Amino acid sequence: MAALPPASPSTPRGALLAPLSGVTDLHMRRIARRLGATATVSEMVAAEDLARGAEEARLRAEGEGVLPHVVQLAGCDPGWMAEGARLAEANGADVIDVNMGCPAKAVTGGQAGSALMRDLDHAARILAAVRGAVAVPVTVKMRLGWDHARLNAPDLARRAEALGYAAVTVHGRTRQQFYTGRADWAAIRAVVAAVGIPVVANGDVASLGDARACLAASGAAAVMVGRAAVGRPWLVGAIAAGLSGRAAPEPDAAARAELAAEHYAGLLALYGARMGVRHARKHLAAYADHAGGLAPAERARLVTTTDPDEALRLLRRAFEAPGAQAAPSASQAA
Ligand SMILES: Cc1cc2nc3c(=O)[nH]c(=O)nc-3n(C[C@H](O)[C@H](O)[C@H](O)COP(=O)(O)O)c2cc1C
C-alpha cells in the first residue's frame, strides 16, 4: 500500500487493518487510521456492482477522511475489474487492492476471490487489466494457494510484481482451510523470497507479540490484522506503534466508549437509522464483549433493539459497569 514502509529490516514495520466484508466500514477505517494503523483497506467491493452504480458498492468504497484510501475490488471479469478500478480512482481511491483470497462460495463460485488462484493465467489477465486502468498504485491480497497441493502464492506474487504491483498481502492459509487451523506465517516466507516488493503477512495476528512472531517467521514488511480488531479498532495502531519501538498508547475505558459511540453515530449517518442500526449490531456486540460490562440480558437487548438511543445507552454502560475490563495493552490483547 502507499503507506507501507520499504521492505528493509532496518525501517519501522507497519500494521494494517484487513478488509472484512460487512465490518470494515468507513467509520471503522477512519478510527483505526486516526489511532495509528499504517493503512486500512475497504471491504471488498464487487467491481461490476460499483461500475453499474449499485448503492451498496458505493458505500463500501467510501473513503472520505481515510488516507490512504485503499479500495479492494473483487470480480472475475477483467473488463469489469478495470471499469471498477477506474471509478474507484475517480472517486478518490489512493490505492486499488485486488481480492484473490476470499474463500466464500458465493465469490469463488463466480470464479472470483481465491478461485483465481486455480488459474494464474486468468488471474494475471485481471491484474494486468486493473494495472492498466489506473495511475494509482495497485496491490493484491491472496492466500497461500487453493490447497496444499498448489501453494502457488509465490508464482502469483511474481506475476503481480512483473506487472508493476506495489505490494502483496498473503493470508497464511489455503482456500480449502477457510479459517480452520492456524495461519502458517513461515509459509509466507516463500513469497517474501520470490519478490522484491513489500509483502504483508496476515492471519491470526491479535497482539504485538503475535505481530513480532509473524514478522520473524515470515520476513514480511508488515502485518495485517482482521478479526482481532473488531470491537477494538485501536488495536492496529497500538501494534503499529509497538513494532516501531514507540510506546503503544491505549485509550482508557472512557475514551474507548467515546470511540465506540462515534463509530455508532457514523454508521447511522452513513446508512440511515434503519439500516445503520442493523449494520452496527456486530460492532456493538464486539465492543460490548471486549469491554465486558453487560449482563447477558442487556447484551441481548443491545443487539436486537431498533432504538438507536437505547443501543447507545447500553453501549456506554458496557464500558462503565464495574465488570468492564481495563484497556488491554497491545502486548496482552489476544
Ligand atoms: C467476516 C470476514 C470478512 C472478510 N472479508 C474480506 C474481504 O472483504 N476481503 C478480503 O480480502 N478478505 C476478507 N476476509 C479475510 C480477512 O481479510 C483476513 O485475511 C482473515 O480474516 C485472516 O486474518 P485475521 O486472522 O487477522 O482475521 C474476511 C474475513 C472475515 C472473517
What residue owns the CA closest to ligand 1's atom 13?
A: 20
Q: Cα of 8 to ligand 1 centre, how many Å?
A: 26
DSSP state of 59: H
Ligand 1 atom at minimal distance to the Cα of residue 43:
8
**Angle between the N-to-C axes of helices 273-291 and 253-271, in degrees from 0 to 180, rounded to the nearest 10:** 160
Instruction: Indicate which residues carry an active-site annotation.
Output: 102
Q: Is the CB of 324 under 6 A from ligand 1?
A: no
202 within ligand 1 shell (Cβ under 6 A): yes
Gap from CA of 67 to ligand 1 centroid (Å): 21
Find all residues with CB under 8 Å of 234, minimum gap 6, and list them.
31, 32, 35, 36, 250, 251, 256, 259
Cα 263 from Cα 62, distance rounded (Å): 15
Confidence (pLDDT) at 13: 80
Q: What is the pLDDT of residue 113?
A: 81
Q: From CA 154, how far away is CA 149, in angstroms rounded?
A: 14
Best mutation site among 141, 218, 227, 230 for ligand 1 pocket (most ligand atoms within 8 Å of CB): 227
Distance between CA atoms of residues 169 and 139, nearest Å: 8
Q: What is the mean pLDDT of each run of 10 residues along the chain (334 residues)?
A: 48 87 97 96 96 95 96 95 98 97 71 85 96 98 95 98 98 94 98 98 97 98 98 96 86 95 97 94 97 93 96 96 56 47
